Amino acid sequence: INEHALDRDCTTLSRHVLQQFPSFTPEAQDISAIMSRLALAGKLIARRLSRAGLMDNALGFTGEVNVQGESVKKMDIYANDVFISVFKQSGLVCRLASEEMEKLYYIPENCPIGRYTLLYDPIDGSSNVDINLNVGSIFSIRQQVGNDLDGTAQDLLQTGGREQIAAGYILYGPSTVLVYSIGNGVHSFILDPSLGEFILAEENIKVPNRGAVYSMNEGNFWQWDRSIRDYIRYVHRHEGYTARYSGALVGDFHRILLQGGVFIYPGTLKKPEGKLRLLYETAPLGFLIEQAGGWASTGEQAILDVIPDKLHARTPLIIGSTEDVKLVESFIQELA
């Protein structure tokens, strides 16, 4: 038998998470259990996405508008509920906050004991769902500090992204990929549908120091600050750049994580803080990119140092290869 292939097949996500801890502590067991449930959420969402076009009630809009003023898609609601359901009766996660819910959501039966908070974007890039292109889910785990049961989330509004215990995403593409970090490198797993398990694909991913890709919505050019317009003019005048933008952050980020480059969603006239939300979009990806040796910035400070003033706070995002991010920062700082 091919022992190597067999060993690889046996490196499942939950086993890998346990191996990240020096010993079999209660925290190690908790985080492993949380990751297994997040993996289940990913499998449920991947299953529904793969058949959505054949189902009566899976594509399109619900007709509602969420707290962010965005039209809600049926898949957003399904995926939002999946993350709640998988943590019911887990005793692990007491509070959840997501892009689709105005307030924190408490799972009452978990609350006296559940010491963790889950922050998540259930379907990121949901405009891609109806056209069968990649989307993702983003997650972040924090220790619940104090006994917040009144919904004010004070603990979340006093700390930055370095307090994350774990962060990651699930990318629903040709295959379903789960990428996570608990502060000890970035690791990727691929869902093997025949096993129903996420199997280790790559350990300790390092983002290249530089890359050719720049990823941003250039349709917003006229809405950007002069510094960002200057940066784009620089890119257009230099050889070696290539544009890639899918409209779904997780996919665009994944490309950059593996191949290098920079993703930019700056502030615009209409949205001075940009579009992306700190707690469940930019901070988790910031955590991953720093773990991979790259950098994430608002242009003025590290994403992981930003302290939100509200649950759904937004930040500009410049993320990817360190040299590429620093170049964008230099344009911003020159005009500051």
Q: Does 290 contact Mg ion by CB under 5 A? A: no
Residue 100 binding Mg ion, by CB under 5 A: no
Question: Which stretch, 33-41, 117-125, 141-149, 158-166, contacts Mg ion (CB under 5 A)?
Answer: 117-125
* 148, 195, 206, 296, 297 from 185: Cα distances, Å: 31, 26, 8, 16, 19
Query: Among Mg ion, ligand AHM, none, what does residue 275 contact (CB within 5–8 Å per kind)?
Result: ligand AHM
CB of 121 to ligand AHM, least distance (A): 5
- 321 closest CA partner among 293, 285, 281: 293
Residues pairing with 264 in the sheet? 318
**Are the CB atoms for 75 and 48 separated by under 8 Å?**
yes
Rounded Cα distance, 121 and 73, in Å? 13
CB 53 within 8 A of CB 60: no
d(CA 195, CA 193): 5
Contact range with Mg ion by CB under 5 A, out of 43-51, 124-132, 172-180, 186-194: 124-132
Convert residues 58-87 into a mask of x (bound to ligand AHM by CB under 6 A) and - (unbound): ------------x-----------------
- Residue 33 has a CB neighbour count (10 Å cut-off) of 17
321 binds, among ligand AHM, Mg ion, none (CB under 5 to 8 A by kind): none
Task: Flag whether 281 is marked binding.
Answer: yes
76 is in an annotated binding site: no
* SS3 of 13-62: HHHHHHHCCCCCCHHHHHHHHHHHHHHHHHHHHHHHHHHHHHCCCCCCEE
- Which is nearer to Mg ion, 99 or 225 (by Cβ)? 99
Least distance to ligand AHM, CB of residue 125, Å: 4
Residue type for position 288: L
Q: Is 121 annotated as a binding residue?
A: yes
Question: Binding to ligand AHM by residue 144, rule CB under 6 A?
Answer: no
Annotated binding residue at 155? Answer: no
Amino acid at 308: P
121 contributes a contact to Mg ion by CB under 5 A: yes
Residue 256 CB, nearest approach to Mg ion (Å): 17
- What does the alpha-carbon distance between residue 159 and residue 165 come to, in Å, rounded to a whole number? 13
Name which of ligand AHM, Mg ion, none residue 247 binds, using a CB cut-off of 5 to 8 Å depending on partner kind.
ligand AHM
141 phi/psi in degrees, rounded to 5: -115, 130
Say how many residues touch ligand AHM, by CB under 6 A. 11
Q: Which residues define the annotated binding site for substrate?
A: 124-127, 217, 245, 275
Q: Which residues define the annotated binding site?
A: 99, 121, 123-127, 217, 245, 275, 281
Contact residues toward Mg ion (CB under 5 A) are 121, 124
Contact residues toward ligand AHM (CB under 6 A) are 70, 99, 121, 124-126, 217, 247-249, 275
